[in-house]
Each structure stands twice: as structure tokens, then as C-alpha cells.
């Protein structure tokens, strides 16, 4: 979910190709030689940047969890005292949609390979994710004050499930277009929160 426009570093190139290959063929289905070939260096050359495939996987999964949390905190800070809760929620949704559309291999990796991380790395991922969820819960409850905390948390997780469904939508070229897909996901997310915040039978 990067916003930078300068050229990616060699480490970033390696991580991007590793994520793509791991998502396509599974962690154990990819060798370091193949990752190296994808970025134009020898397999052994990768060890100048990473200790091995396990280190790449950890940096990918810990890294994206940290980026999502940092991005959400930045959006909240930018909106502080300027935007109302509805606009803040829209901003959070937009940020997560950017991730869901631009970093689809990482969603697949998280679903398949999280258990391969060392305990310490897996716990860090979970910790970052919990903080990210709680930011959303706070904002959702500002928009829907009648929604209890447990229900708001369930709604947030459900919306994440919706937004993170992008790896199952087919290849990127098969989607109706990034803008249209982003708009559709945004409407569906807001609709889900609105439904959760409506009184039963209302």
C-alpha cells in the first residue's frame, strides 16, 4: 500500500516478486533461484538482502500489517478537527480498498502462510491487526453511536472480509476497472456498516 513515487529499492523489488510467486505457487513451491531470476540477480545474491525465504515472508506479512495501521493513523490525524466521522470512515475504507486492489498477493499470503511465521512474528502481526481493527471500531461507532462495541467489531471484521475478497475476483485484467471496482467495494462497505447500525426491523 505504498504511496511513494520514486523507484523501488532492490529489497522492495525482491519482496514484490516473492509475494507474487508465493501467492501463485505457494511458499514451498518457490525457490530462491526463481525469486532471484524474477529481479535479475542470482539466487545466492538474494542472501545479501535477506537471510532466506522465511525472512522474506515475515517482512511481507509484518510489513503490510504495519503499513495498514500507520496509514489508518495518518488518515485519522489528517482528519482530526477537520472532517466529520462519515468522512473519516470513508477515508479508512478508501485506504483499505487501495491495499485490497494493489496488494492482492499479500492477502493470499496472509490467508495461506501466516502459520509459517515464527511465533514472535505471528504475534506481532496479530498485535498490529488488533490495533488496526480498534481504530476502525472507534470510527464506526462515531458514525453509528447505537451500535455496541462487540457488534461494531464484528461489522469491521465482516467488512474486511468483503474488501479482502479481491484475490477471488479473477485476474486483475478481468475486473471491470480499478475505479469502478473501488467504487463498488466502497458502496458495499458503507452499506454493510449502515445495515449493522440500523435497528432490527428498521
Q: Rounded to the nearest 10 degrees, what angle do helices 85-102 and 119-143 cross at?
A: 140
Report pLDDT digits (tens) over 77-107: 998 888 899 999 999 999 999 999 999 999 9
Res 114: pLDDT: 95
Per the CB < 8 A criterion, the answer to whether 102 and 1 are in contact is: yes
Res 172: pLDDT: 55
Contacts of 74 (CB under 8 A, 6+ apart): none
Encode the chain (202 residues) as per-residue pLDDT tens digits.
444 446 678 899 999 999 999 999 999 999 999 999 999 998 788 889 999 999 999 999 999 999 999 999 999 999 888 889 999 999 999 999 999 999 999 999 999 999 999 999 999 999 999 999 999 999 999 999 999 999 999 999 999 999 999 988 766 556 678 899 999 999 999 999 999 977 654 4
Burial annotation 104-139 (CB, 10 A radius, 16+ → b, else e): bbbbbbbeebeebbeeebbebbeebeeebbebbbeb
Res 88: pLDDT: 95
Amino acid at each position: 500500500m505504498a504511496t511513494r513515487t520514486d523507484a523501488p529499492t532492490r529489497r522492495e523489488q525482491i519482496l514484490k516478486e516473492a509475494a507474487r510467486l508465493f501467492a501463485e505457487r505457494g511458499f514451498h513451491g518457490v525457490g530462491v533461484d526463481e525469486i532471484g531470476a524474477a529481479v535479475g540477480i542470482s539466487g545466492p545474491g538474494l542472501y545479501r538482502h535477506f537471510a532466506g525465504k522465511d525472512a522474506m515472508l515475515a517482512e511481507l506479512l509484518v510489513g503490510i500489517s504495519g503499513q495498514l495501521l500507520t496509514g489508518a493513523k495518518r488518515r485519522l490525524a489528517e482528519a482530526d478537527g477537520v472532517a466529520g466521522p462519515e468522512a473519516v470512515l470513508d477515508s479508512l475504507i478508501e485506504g483499505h480498498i487501495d491495499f485490497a486492489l494493489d496488494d492482492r498477493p499479500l492477502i493470499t499470503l496472509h490467508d495461506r502462510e501466516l502459520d509459517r511465521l515464527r511465533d514472535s512474528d505471528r504475534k506481532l502481526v496479530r498485535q498490529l491487526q488488533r490495533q488496526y481493527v480498534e481504530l476502525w471500531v472507534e470510527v464506526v461507532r462515531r458514525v453509528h453511536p447505537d451500535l455496541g462495541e462487540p457488534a461494531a467489531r464484528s461489522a469491521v471484521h465482516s467488512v474486511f472480509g468483503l474488501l479482502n475478497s479481491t484475490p477471488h475476483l479473477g485476474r486483475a485484467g478481468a475486473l471491470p476497472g480499478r475505479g469502478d471496482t473501488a467504487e463498488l467495494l466502497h458502496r458495499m462497505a458503507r452499506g454493510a456498516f449502515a445495515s449493522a447500525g440500523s435497528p432490527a426491523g428498521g
